[in-house]
Each structure stands twice: as C-alpha cells, then as structure tokens.
Chain A
Amino acid sequence: MSKSLSLLLFSMKEISNQRIYQTLLAILIIIPWLLLIPTSLFMMDLGKVFMDMLFTFLHLWLLIYIFFLAAPLLARDIEMGTCNMFLTLPMSRAEYLWGRYAGVVATILPILLAYLISAVLAFEFAERTWPGYVLSGSGVQFTYGVLLILLPYLALTAVLFFIASTATGLSETTVFLFSVWLLCWSIPPVLGAMQEQNVAAKNPPWIESILQFINQLLPDISSSQISLHLAHHIPLENMAVIAYCIEHLAYSSLIMIVAVLLFQRRDLG
C-alpha cells in the first residue's frame, strides 16, 4: 500500500474519531427531516423549497467541515509539528500533502452519504405527503446536485492546503481561507450582473476586468445555477456539466501541485 494511501486511511480515522465529526454526522441525519417543517409553510413548489434548504445546508456543513475540522487539522500538523512525525517515518512532503488532502476529502464521503440517504428518504416521504407539489425523481436530482456541489469544495480544500503550506498557524490559515471563500461567494454573482447591458454601461470596463482576473485565480464555488436548475427539475446541459467537473478537478489538482511545491521549500519548525 502506498504511503499516501496509508495516510489517507489514517487521516480518515483521525478526523472521524473527533467528537465534532461524530456530532456533525448525527445532526446531518436528522436535518433533512427537520427541514420538512419549514417546507410545509410554502404553497406550490414544496419540493423545490425542500431541495433549496437541503442544498443550503450542504453548503453550510461543507464549510463547517473545512473551517472547523480540516483547517485545524492541517494548521496543527504544520504549526505544532505533527507533520514532522509523518515526514520522519519517513514519507516525502508530496506524499504527506497528497495523502492528507485525499484523507480530508475522503472523510467528507461518510457524512455526505448519511446526509444523502436521509434526504432521499425524506424526499420519498414528502412526495407521498404533498403529491403534486413534490415532483417525482427529486431524490435523484438532489443526489446529482450534491455530487456537483461537492466539486467546488474539493477546490476550496485545495486552497486550504495551499494557504496552510505557507501560513504560520491556524489564525492565519483561517483568516486567509475565509477571505478567499468570501470572494468566491460574492464575485461570480456580481460578475453575472455586470454582463447585463444596463449595468455594463454604468460601470467602467476596468472594474469588470479586475473582478474577472480575481475570479480566474479563485475556485468557482458559485454553482448557484446548478442548484436552481435541479431544484426545478430543469435539465443541465451535459457539456456544461462535463466542463464544470473538469474545471474543478483541474483547479484542485493545480492548486495542490503549487501547494506541494511551496511546502517542499518550507522550513518546518
């Protein structure tokens, strides 16, 4: 078994043994059922509202996972010197960083699966409770959406590794990651708005150029149109989905390669 694969399994065990992870897992099994309560307040598109809420919680807990589980793990590794233990086993820095990244990403899967199963069962229940207002096949649409929404978070996790490979500690890592996330969150809709003629006419073109440049550097975590379309059962174009997957996987890999290069040059305390 390669060292990175061993570290992947070790990281999964390390993260999943933490109480915050286990609490998150338990909460996410209950959440879809609780979300049926606010859903019942709406009138017609109940299935869509339910899916909106599930997608929003997906974004929320993925962020919780990255900020409160992955970031402290990596910051502690590098700041406190836990990574020295791995590197002197021995293990190369590239093996360490890729193994940790794969481990952090793989540990999302059990909670994702639990959330998905619970949500699909809740959809089945909703479909029977509000026939006509929850479209059949919503569970499938939701599963598709979950897999697609996960991809930008793989890129954000890669950005976390990039930041941590040069940062001095948890505070620095968290502040930079939060800033990146904030920009990723708000720039794509602003850029979308700037494409409209009346807005473009009001703003000087260099503002859009700067925003476009920043946006190219950051991971595209918007995925807003994906969730919007799937919630309304509007089919996604296959080519666009393929391009979206390639974009995020390529971006994640590129950022991880840069992170490894930076980490290899770094003196560890």
Chain B
Amino acid sequence: MRPEYLAVNKLSKQYGNNLVVKEVDLVIRRGEAIGLLGANGAGKSTLIKSILGLVHSSQGSVEINASSSYLPEQPQMPISLSALSLLKFKCKTNRLPPSSAQQALDDVQLSKQVRNQAMREYSKGMRQRTSLALALCGEPQLIILDEPMSGLDALGRAEILQLLQQRKSAGTAFLMSSHIVSDMVQLCDRVLIMASGRVCETVELHDHSLEEAKDLEVRLAQWSHRHE
C-alpha cells in the first residue's frame, strides 16, 4: 500500500457557536489527488487552514508525514521583492539547492526577465504563477492548493494543470479546493463534496471525462441546495 502523506481524523472547527468544519476524516496517499468541492462558505478553506495549522482545530487530529507546501486562494506576497528572491528565500529556509528556485519558475513559465522584477509590477496571473512556483519549489511530497487556477486565463490553466498532472505521475500528492469542477476532474482521483462544514459525499473519479464533471456539478448543486 502507498504511504499515507496526510491523515485527518474527526477534524472540527468551531467559531463561537458556529461549527464551520464538522468531523472531517481524510487520508491522502502518495500520488493521490483529492478535491474539495463546495459552495462558498462550505468550510473548504477553513479545513485546509486547519490542516496547515493556520487555524487551531477545536477537535480531532491532523498528521502530515511528508514534506508539504501550500498555495493560498489569494496569494499575498512581499511586493517589493522579485519572484526569484522569494523562491531563493524558500530554498534557504528549506535547505534546498538555489537551482530549485530557477527550476520552479521555469516550470510555471515565468519569464526570466519578469522573475527579477519587483512583484509590485506583476499582473494577477504572474503573481499566481509565482505563488504556484513557491508551492512547487523543492518538489514537496504533498501540495495543498486552495483555488490554484484563480487569476489564470484558459491557456494558463491548461499549462498549470499539465504541470500538476506531471507532478502527480511522479508521486506528488495533492489536496485541492476549487470552484471549477472541470479543473478538479482533470487532476483528482476522488472528490469530497462539502456543505455546511461537513463532507456530504465522496465521489470516485474514473475516466476524468466531461460526463463525470457534469455529474459532479449536479451532485454539488443538490447538496448545496439541501444545506441552504
């Protein structure tokens, strides 16, 4: 059996009287991609932040047995620095060779000229690519992505999806939250549909086809409607 990279056990998060994540169980193994699908406020981002330790869970446990990285929904970066400086910083803190920074920026196709400019001059798409490069730098075993395609155009999304698929084939595990069902279907093996903080249904994806995407959208609509 492939090694477990992430094990989430009965994870709950409560703000005051409001239970925003309810007893979520989740296991991700090497080379596996799990999608979190849900309407706004379903608890996806809180679940991800609880897994990362950014938010303290009220109950349950999280065990990460792999090198991990995170791509936030709205990446906020030090805009006075260049993308290359930022990635080199990650290389220093994680004791990675400096060439990893250039490699990750090559992977997300951020041009050599742009990567040396201060990030205040970047477009939203460039910032998203930088943030993705930061998540991919050093080839972590587990990558947690919160809306990774936001800010990217259709071509950019296709390029990034291809890159993620390559990494997945090489054994990287993914936990990905997204509104865009078609992107999720292309990458993920299993999708957890969330509503009101609870995992309502787990859908196994087999052929990553358009039909599966349509079916997933219908199920999402049903669950969201039920929890309104």
Contact = CB atoms under 8 A, between A and B. Distances in A.
Direct contact of A and B (CB under 8 A): yes
A18 B119 CA distance: 12
A181 B140 CA distance: 45
Nearest to B49: A268
Given A85-B76, A87-B53, A268-B54, A1 B134 contact: no
A223 B130 CA distance: 46
A14 interface: yes
A84 B70 contact: yes
Contacts, number: 63
Band of interface residues on B: 20 to 34
B49 A14 contact: no
Contacts of B209: none
Nearest to A90: B68
B55 A88 contact: no
A229 interface: no
Contact of A82 (B53, B68, B78, B85): B78
B115 to A, nearest CB: 15
Interface string B92-106: 111000000000000
Which residue, A84, A87, A89, A91, has most C-beta atoms of chain B within 10 A?
A89
Given A6-B93, A91-B93, A267 B78 contact: no
Interface string A1-44: 10100110010011101100000000000000000000000000
A137 interface: no
Contact of A85 (B68, B72, B85): B72
A17 B81 contact: yes
Given A6-B92, A81-B74, A85-B134, A14 B80 contact: yes
B54 A88 contact: yes
A84 B54 contact: yes
Given A88-B52, A268-B49, A13 B81 contact: yes
Interface string A231-257: 000000000000000000000000000
A140 B78 CA distance: 38
A17 B77 CA distance: 14
A85 B93 contact: no
B128 interface: no
Given A10-B89, A17-B118, A76-B76, A89 B94 contact: yes
B196 interface: no
B75 interface: yes
B85 A13 contact: yes
Contacts of B72: 81, 84-85
Contact of B77 (A85, A87, A91): A85
A82 B52 contact: no
Contacts of A207: none
A14 B93 contact: no
Contact of B78 (A14, A84, A87, A268): A14
Given A267-B49, A268-B49, 9 more contacts: A10-B89, A14-B80, A76-B76, A80-B76, A82-B78, A85-B75, A88-B70, A91-B93, A267-B54
Interface of B: 49, 52-56, 68-70, 72, 74-78, 80-81, 85, 89-90, 92-94, 118, 131, 134
7 contacts: A10-B85, A17-B80, A18-B80, A80-B76, A82-B77, A85-B72, A267-B49
